[in-house]
Structure formats: C-alpha cells, structure tokens
Amino acid sequence: MQNKGLIRFFAIIFAIASIYQLTYTFITNKVEGDADVYSSSKVDESAVNASSLKSEAQKHYLDSVASQDVWGGFTTYADAKNQELKKGLDLKGGINVILQVSVRDLLTGMADDSTDPDFNRALDAADERIKDGQDDYFNYFIEEFNNIDGAQLASPDIFANQEMQTRGIEFDMSNSDVEPILREELKDYMTSAFDVLRKRIDKFGTTQPNLQQLGTSGRILIELPGETDVKRIKDILTKAAQLEFWHVYQPNAIASYLNEANTYWAAKLAASAASQKEAVATDDLAAQTEVATDSTEAGLGDLLNQENEEEASTDGPSNADFDKSPIFSRMFQSPNGALAAFKAEDKDLIDSYINDPQARGKLTSEQRNVKFAWGLPVLNEALGYEIIDLYALKGNSQNEAPLTGGVITDASQQYGNSGLPVVSMSMNGEGAKIWEDMTAEAYQNQSQVSVVLDNTVYSAPNVTNGAISGGQTQISGNFSIDEAKDLATVLRAGKLPAKAEIIQSDVIGPSLGQEAIDSGLWSFGIALLLVLVWMFFYYGRAGLYADIALLVNILFIFGALASLKAVLTLPGIAGIVLTIGISVDANVLIFERIREELAKGKSQADSIKDGFNNALSSILDANVTTFLTAVILYVFGTGPIQGFATTLMIGILTSLFTAIFITRLFVDGYVSNGKTIGFSTSITKNWFRNVNIDFLKKRKMAYIISGVLVVGSLISLATNKLNMGIDFTGGRTVIVGFAQDVNATEITKQLSAEDIFGSAEAKTYGSGNQLKISTKYGIDRDDSEVSQEIEDKLYQVLKPYLPSDMSQAQFADVSNENKKHGIRSSFQVGASIADDILTGSLYAILGSLIVVFIYILIRFRKWQFSLGAVAAVFHDVIIVLGAFSVLYKVLPFNMEIDQAFIAAILTVIGYSLNDTVVVFDRIREFINERTNWEFPRTVNSAISSTISRTLNTSLTTLIVLLAIFIFGGESIQGFMLALIIGVIVGTYSSVFIATPVMFDTMTKTNGKLTPKEPKPEKEEL
C-alpha cells in the first residue's frame, strides 16, 4: 500500500479531532452531574413538588456557571454545551412539535378580511381539499378561485387594497400575474412567523432549541430538549403575535414607587428573617422555599438569588445589603433611558417585588395603571453577565395599548441620516393619526414611546423632532444591521392574524429518556463485545486488527456526529450498531479474499496485496448501494429516522476508511519484518473450504418456497392487514406507568366505552406495569382542548390502577426524572400530516428501488442484474410485511407500522442489495477470469466462493441485531424484529432469488456477459 505515511497522518489527525470534539461532551456531563448533586443537596426528595424544585435548582446552578471556566482554562460551560454531542428527545426527554401556520388566515389578512363571496368560497373549498390532499393550501386556493367564472384576485374587495398595492398588485391585473406576488408575500410572512417563534423560544430560555421550516407548506418543526411544561410551550407557540406601542414614564416620574417598594420589601424580609430564627435551622432548599413562600410570597427565586449573592465576590454587596435593600442593591443605571437595569437572572425576582399587590398599593392614583415591562437582555462585557432594562409603561384601566401592530403596513431596515441602521415603518390611516397624537405627547413631555412585542420592549426611542404625521417614522437606536433587520421582521410579523395549530407533538419524560439511554448503551456494549470476540475467534490476529479498526471507526463516528452538530437518537444508536456489522463485512470480504489467494499458493505479501485489491470492488458496490438507501431515507424521513440515516451515512464512510486503510496499516506493519500472520485459527482454518454446491439446480424449489411465502404474506396483508401506527392514521398515543401489572385487554374495553373514547387500544409496553394507549379521539378538534379532555378521561379510568395518593396533576406531569407511574410520554399526529408522512414513506421506498436499479445497471451494464436485485428486494419487503401482518396480534411488544418501521424496511433493502451485489460482483469477476467455463458453472462457483463471507457477515449482523432486540428497550423491538427478519430473508434471497432471476432472464434473452479480452502476458527477460 502506497502513501502509508499520509494515511497514518490522517488517521492520527481524525482521532485527535474526534477526541477533542468529544471532550466537550465529557465536560458538560461533568458539570451537569455537579448540578444534579447540588440540587439533590438542596431539595427534599420526599417533598410533593420535589421534581420542579430540583429542576429549578439545577437551572440556577447551570446559569451561575454558564460563563465561568469549568475546565482549567479550556472552556466555559456555555461554550462546551454548544459543542457537545447533542442527544435527541428520545434520549434526553423534551417536546417535539410541528406547527401549521394558517395559510387561510394569512390570505384573509392580506385581503383585509374580505367578505367577497368568491374569495371565501375558494377558501372553504381549499379547506376541504387540504384534509385529504398532499399539495400546499395556497395551490388549492388558486385552483378553486380560478374555477370560479369571472373571479378576479386583483379586485378592490380582495387583493387590490391599499396595502397590497404597495406590494405591486394593481387593479384588474390577471390572476396569473397576481399569483406570484401572493406566493412571494406568503413566503415573507412565513419567514416572519418563523422569526417570531424563534424569538419566543429564545426568550423562553430552552437549551439547544431546534427550529426548522418544513418546505413551503407553512409547517415549522420545533424541538425543545429537556422541556416538559407542555401547556406553557403550547401557549408560547400558538398565541398570535402581539405588537403594541405604549407611552413610557420618565424615570424620575416613577422612581418614588421603586423607593416605596424597596422599603416595603426590606421590612417584610427583615420580619421574615426574624421569624425564621425562631424556627429550627435547616439548609434544606425545599423547606426554605416553603417558609419563604408563606412569609414573603417571593418563592424559590428569592432564596436562589440570595444564595447566588452569598457566593459572589467580596467586592459586591453582602447578603445583608440585599436584605436591607432588596431592589436598589440589585439595580444599575440604564444606558437607554429606562427606569432601571438589573442582572438578567434577577428579572423574575424583581418582577415579584414590583408587581406584588401589597407593594403596588403604594402607587399614587395617577400611577395605579402602570405596566412594568422588560427589554431584551444584553451582555455587558465589562461586568461579565447580561443586564436587562426595566420600563414603566403608561397603562389605562382597560390595560390596552394606545396603538397595536394591526396598523403597520410595512417595515424595513434602512439607514438614517447618520449612516447608522434604522427601522422604517408605515401605518394605515387610522394608525397614522394615533401615532401622530402619541408622538406629539411624547415630544411635549420629552419622554419615550416603546415598541412592545409579546410583552417585551424591543425599542423605546425618544421623540426629539416633534409630532410625526403621515404614519411614516423611523426607529433609531444602537442597532447593528442584523438587529435592525430583525426588528423590522418583528414589526411585520406583529400584524399577522394567522394562528398556529399544533398538528404533531411528541412529549417524552426525562425518566423514559434515561431508560432509553441505559438500554441503548447496554445493547451497544453487548453487541460490540460479541462481534469483537467472534472476529478474533474466526480470524485470529487479523481479526484482532479488524477489532482495533472497528473501535477506531466508532470513535470517528461519534466525533463526526459531535462536530457536525448532528442529534443522536435511539434509532441513531441502532444505526451506529448496524454500522458495526457493515464495518465487519468489509473486513470479512478482505480476509476471505486473502485466504483465497493464499490457497492458490501465492506468497503472503502478494496474497495480502491482491486480497485487498480484489475485495475493493465488492466493498465499494455494497456500501454505495446502502449509502444511497440512507440518503433516500434522510431526504424523505423526519426526526428520529433522519438521525438513523445520518449515523448510517457517517458510519459507511468511516467504515470504508478504517476497514480498507487502518486494518491494512496494522497487517502490513506486522508482516513487514518477515513475520507470518494467520487469517484464521486452528479451529476455523478449514471452515467453508472447497464448497461446491449446485445452487442453480435448487432454484425451482426456492421459487416454490418463496412463492408460498409471498402469496401467504399477500393473503395475510389482505385479511389481517397491518397495525398502522398513528404516524400514518393520525391520533394520540400515551405511555402510562402503573403501580402494579395491569390487564391491557380489560383497560382497552374500559377506554373504548362510548362515554370515554369510543375507540382506543392499550398494549403492554415492555414490562407488565406499563401500557401504550392509542386513540383517534378528537383528532379533528382543537389540540389544547382535546389534550386536556384525554388527560381527564385517562385519569378517570386509570385511577384505580395508580398509587392511591397520585393527583391528576401528578398523573399528567411528565417532568419528573424519576417518574414511574402516570403519563411518561405522549405523541400526537394530525390527520393532514399523517397523510404526508405516509406519502413520504412510499416515495422513500420507491425512490430507493429506482436509484439502486439504475446504479446496478450502470455498474454491471446488464438489466438482468438490476432485475434480479430488485426482485429480491420486493421478495424481502413483502415477506417482512407479511410477517408483521401475521405476528402483530400475537407478540407482546409494539409492531405498529410507523416511521421507524419504514426505516427498517429501507435498511432491509440496503442489506439485501449489499449481499446481492457481493455475489453479482464475484459472478462478473469469474466470467472475466474463467472464459472457458459454462455460464451455470460460473454462477455456481461464484456463489460457492462467497458463501463463507455471506454466512460470516450475516451471523455477525444477526448477533448485533439480536443484542439490540433483547437489550435495546421496548421502543425499538419492532424495529429490530423487522431487521432480523430482513437479514435472514435477505441472505436467502441473494442466493436463491436474485441470482436465479438474473440467470434465467440472462439465459432466455441470450444476454450472457462477454468476458473481457485477457491482457497479453508480459515477456519475462
């Protein structure tokens, strides 16, 4: 092998880079472990609200160390968290939702709430078509509108209104000319909606949120790892954007209230401290919280912030200072003319102080309606932490803003007279008049006007040039270009009347996530150990070198996942473990070819060289077909399936490098000094030697067996059908834990009663005291209402099986990381997205077959090879489907047809093709080398020569899959069973279906390959 030094260099660089990247994960795990210890020391585990208290204490600890060095000057926790290997929701717990932004609402808003009958008729028709259709809502609307005789989009009553004329729509434009303008506007509005949601999530404070726009359908994917407060998340995501303009109190006009509130709370905290001295001293955080809540109504945040200040440097105020001056001691002077500024982490505490009903009683009658609002947190580099401005807005008895975002017609980032970025905006006539009055008042009082989105002050400019008329104005400030663009986007988004509906949600409790991690690691470790032992047992020292290459491969995979910021999911772990089989397969191919060369009497050096070279074609073809399948899976899959495809693609690439180059380095290094290396052991050296079976003679019997299996599968599919999961039907699924084993059949009957769900199914999920409950109840109704109804009905029916002291709130709360009873996770899919998932899955399967057919046709240049491969794949897929149709009513674990099952089918396709291509590659090689042989002999000999590799690879892969199936947890047992069946039938079909079909069609069409002309022998000197 040439360029050994270069390969060794790259291997070392990749290894160092992988270890470096994974170091961040080690650091974050250590810090989060410290946070867990800290919270455990502060919270009484027996407290009723121990889970929420512990979670808040953990967040407080992590916030306190976010910007501190946590690894000897190497990095901060915040930096390490950003670079760590990210875990998916199924491993970490959290919330995954897909939002559908209402395109109808957007169109209605663009049409200025038009009552035109043609317009609303087209909208109603589009509503009906989208229920069962796969196209975008806008396309359906355009089709239906164009079907109405004489209907014009550019009518003054529809889109030729004042606002849309500024977008380029003119009266009496043709519908075809208006359509692209509307489409572009919708795209902008969707971007605005996405930006609003992103800002909301950022404000919520979730760690590592993931937001993605899904095509042009108005759907937005949002993943929030570690979050379990479903109601709060849904409220944040689905409420309409609220843009408002308020007058702002000058600081000196409201400062007296802060002084009164500070005095009030100082006295109250002093009284509380005195009463606590009389009580039994305790350091327990939960007990302190109860005392603080009863006496001060300040809650856990007060104690945590006091605790934080105790740990601060001696240069800052002492804890006594905070008690004596709870507001002023935390206050900074605002550089933006706000009432005051505070550390961002003190926001909730200050809120509780200034909005306390008793404290607000000290406001004057003129100030009684004041509304306190916070600005955006800004990092103060000098201080080393974020500060946030507090504004006092002039409210009224109705608590309504003088002006709302509904009047904004446009907003954009521009440049002011000073050359700095500003935000220019325009309003409609009504808004322009109110804005003129507001700016006149602000100019007269030398005060500010604030721009408030979702109760956050984005800008509070001073009015220095008099009243602003015409509705045209600029908002200036210390903006960067990006900040100005963001603010303009927010201003436009604020006027959107579109609602966002949750059409798919997945809530996984942290306890279930931890179980998934444990089971995944168990399966990974056991499968890896078994494969390492088998390779050493079968191939001796060469097998040991393959084991080392395999371990290096795993390091590369995890390093690549971390560096690419890919998300590791439970199916992703399955993909990594499956990669073990792929990596082993490459080494098996190489070692078997070396053994063949040695059997021919070649020297050890020549055998190693020729073995690696001859195996390369088969390895590349087999891995390319599997890689193409993984690409299709990634393109058409979503969520966890994409995680599986990602790890599989990375694993294939790293497997090729380690199997071909790393193993070669070790082998060459050992034999370079004249040492002899064995590619078998004394036990295995004669295994599968001199195999000579007439496989083609047995093809008729194989056709009969396969025909029976395929027909039986089709009959079962027609009669038993498949257990379609809610991924494809729509509905809701919850996983519920119980205090003891329960009867799934009995609970199914209770839940299916007419006054409960009407139709539901409960199945044992893992152990006997855990059920997976599915229902389509309320699938077409408002999500928030139905979710609450389902929780109520479930609690009503299941209460006798739960711990006697479990309340309904505890039953529905999934946030407890130690939770064993009650709802542990929930999953919801709307009917419309279920249709899309089904369509995407079918496209994935058909797409992979087409791509692989074309690839094999290009590589082997005979359509008979492609036909044989595709026939074998169809054979394997039908049998796997048939097995699931027969067994889903019998086996005790989940065998639903869902997205994970589609991933399994595509993996079966990839494995079957992998095996088939290896056989075909050897047939092609034998045709070129043995030109005087008859075609049947060539085919039989080629199959016989690969039988050792076929059985070895199948065995190691089955070992891996069985380990995952047994130890990998109930959530992927159905997934693994599909793969196990697929590997068995795939191994069988590559020999008894793919090859015979190729042979028969080749013979009947007289299409036998013409061997290549042998190269002339070089004359020896």
What's the pLDDT tens digit per position in 799-836? 888 887 777 777 776 655 556 777 776 766 655 555 56
d(CA 722, CA 898): 11
- pLDDT category of residue 297 using cuts at 50, 70 and 90: very low
pLDDT at 320: 46
Model confidence at 533: pLDDT above 80: yes
Contact predicate 921/618, CB 8 Å: yes
pLDDT at 780: 62
Q: Highest mean pLDDT range out of 191-195, 197-201, 704-708, 976-980?
A: 704-708
Contact predicate 395/350, CB 8 Å: no
CB atoms inside a 10 Å sphere around CB 979: 28
- Torsion over CA of 988, 991, 996 and 997, rounded to 10 degrees? 60
* Sequence-separated contacts (24+) of 465-470 with Cβ below 8 Å: 466/439, 466/440, 467/436, 467/437, 467/439, 467/440, 467/443, 468/435, 468/436, 468/439, 469/432, 469/436, 470/432, 470/436
Q: What is the mean pLDDT of residues 187-191?
A: 79
| More confident position, 939 or 74 | 939
- Torsion over CA of 773, 774, 780 and 785, rounded to 10 degrees? 10
- 688 alpha carbon, distance to own chain's centre: 46
Which positions ≥6 away from 494 have C-beta within 8 Å?
196, 241, 242, 243, 405, 408, 453
Tokens of 145: 């509108």
Contact predicate 17/56, CB 8 Å: no
d(CA 992, CA 698): 8
Contact predicate 736/864, CB 8 Å: no
Model confidence at 103: pLDDT above 70: yes
Residue 930, helix vs strand vs coil: coil
Tokens of 352: 């509780």
pLDDT digit string (tens) for 572-606? 776 776 777 777 878 888 888 888 888 778 888 88
Contact predicate 583/576, CB 8 Å: no
pLDDT at 963: 77
d(CA 369, CA 246): 13
Model confidence at 216: pLDDT above 70: no
- The 3-class SS string of 645-698 reads HHHHHHHHHHHHHHHHHHHHHHHHHHHCCCCCCCCCCCCCCCCCCCCCCCCHHH
Which positions ≥6 away from 411 have C-beta within 8 Å?
423, 424, 425, 426, 487, 488, 489, 491, 492
Q: What is the mean pLDDT of residues 964-978?
A: 74
Task: Provide the residue type at 759 as one letter.
Answer: S
Residue 195's φ and ψ, nearest 5 degrees, are: -65, -40
Label residue 352 left, alpha or beta by phi (over 0 means left) and psi (-120 to 50 means alpha): alpha
Strand order in the sheet with 472-475: 408-415, 421-427, 472-475
Which positions ≥6 away from 991 have C-beta within 8 Å?
695, 919, 943, 950
pLDDT at 1017: 47
Q: What is the mean pLDDT of residues 151-158?
A: 86
CATH match of 731-829 with 3.30.70: yes
- pLDDT category of residue 392 using cuts at 50, 70 and 90: very high
- pLDDT category of residue 299 using cuts at 50, 70 and 90: very low
Q: How do beta strands 456-459 and 371-375 pair?
A: parallel
pLDDT at 49: 56
d(CA 875, CA 869): 10
H or E segment and range at residue 771 = strand 767-775
The architecture of the domain spanning 508-720+835-1004 is Up-down Bundle (1.20)
Task: Report domain extents, the chain.
Answer: 4-83, 98-165+178-232, 250-370+382-395, 402-495, 508-720+835-1004, 731-829
Task: Provide the residue type at 114 as one letter.
Answer: S
CB atoms inside a 10 Å sphere around CB 829: 26
CATH of domain 402-495: 3.30.1360.200
H or E segment and range at residue 762 = strand 760-765
d(CA 136, CA 887): 38
d(CA 683, CA 687): 8
pLDDT at 785: 64
Model confidence at 709: pLDDT above 90: yes
pLDDT at 715: 93
Tokens of 571: 């199916």
Closest CA to 723 of 767, 774, 758: 774
- The 3-class SS string of 37-86 reads HHHHHHCCCCCCCHHHHHHHHHHHHHHHHCCCECCCCCCEHHHHHHHCCE
Q: Which of 158-162, 265-269, 289-293, 715-719 has the lowest mean pLDDT?
A: 289-293
pLDDT at 114: 86
pLDDT at 102: 81
CB atoms inside a 10 Å sphere around CB 974: 25
Contact predicate 105/808, CB 8 Å: no
- Percent of the chain with pLDDT strictly greater than 70: 76
DSSP state at residue 897: B
H or E segment and range at residue 822 = strand 822-829
DSSP state at residue 339: S
pLDDT at 732: 76
Q: Which of 42-46, 337-341, 544-548, 828-832 has the lowest mean pLDDT?
A: 828-832
d(CA 112, CA 177): 20
Question: Angle between the 570-599 and 973-989 helix axes, to the nearest 10 degrees?
Answer: 30
Contact predicate 452/460, CB 8 Å: no
- pLDDT category of residue 1 using cuts at 50, 70 and 90: low
- pLDDT category of residue 879 using cuts at 50, 70 and 90: very high
Residues 275, 279, 281, 287: is their CA dihedral positive or negative? negative
To which residue do tokens 């956050």 refer? 456
pLDDT digit string (tens) for 638-653? 655 677 778 888 888 8
Give the chain's mean pLDDT.
77
Which positions ≥6 away from 854 have C-beta within 8 Å?
866
Model confidence at 165: pLDDT above 60: yes
- pLDDT category of residue 309 using cuts at 50, 70 and 90: very low
Model confidence at 4: pLDDT above 80: no
| More confident position, 89 or 136 | 136
Model confidence at 378: pLDDT above 90: no
pLDDT at 831: 52
pLDDT at 391: 93
Contact predicate 771/738, CB 8 Å: yes
d(CA 73, CA 27): 12
pLDDT at 382: 77
Q: Highest mean pLDDT range out of 229-238, 382-391, 414-423, 512-521?
A: 382-391
pLDDT at 58: 74
The count of residues in the chain is: 1021
Give start and end residues of each alpha helix (H) in 205-250: 230-238
Q: What is the mean pLDDT of residues 282-289?
A: 44
- For 766, half-sphere exposure in the C-beta direction (CA atoms, 13 angstrom radius) is 18
Residue 422, helix vs strand vs coil: strand
- pLDDT category of residue 771 using cuts at 50, 70 and 90: confident
- pLDDT category of residue 506 using cuts at 50, 70 and 90: low
Q: Highest mean pLDDT range out of 15-24, 391-400, 469-478?
A: 15-24
pLDDT at 319: 45
pLDDT at 348: 86
d(CA 220, CA 214): 6
Tokens of 801: 């099986």
pLDDT at 283: 47
| More confident position, 894 or 985 | 985
- pLDDT category of residue 198 using cuts at 50, 70 and 90: confident
- 272 alpha carbon, distance to own chain's centre: 47
pLDDT at 100: 76
Closest CA to 68 of 79, 54, 55, 82: 79
- pLDDT category of residue 710 using cuts at 50, 70 and 90: very high
pLDDT digit string (tens) for 901-944? 777 777 777 777 777 888 888 888 888 777 778 888 888 888 88
Contact predicate 224/201, CB 8 Å: yes
Q: Which of 1-5, 400-404, 797-801 has the lowest mean pLDDT?
A: 1-5
- pLDDT category of residue 711 using cuts at 50, 70 and 90: very high
Closest CA to 968 of 891, 977, 764: 977
| More confident position, 426 or 1011 | 426
DSSP state at residue 511: H
pLDDT at 714: 92
d(CA 292, CA 119): 59
Model confidence at 874: pLDDT above 80: yes
Q: What is the mean pLDDT of residues 884-904?
A: 77
Buried b (16+ CB within 10 A) or exposed e, 577-603: bbbbbbbbbbbbbbbbbbbbbbeeebe
Tokens of 282: 């305790």
pLDDT at 496: 43
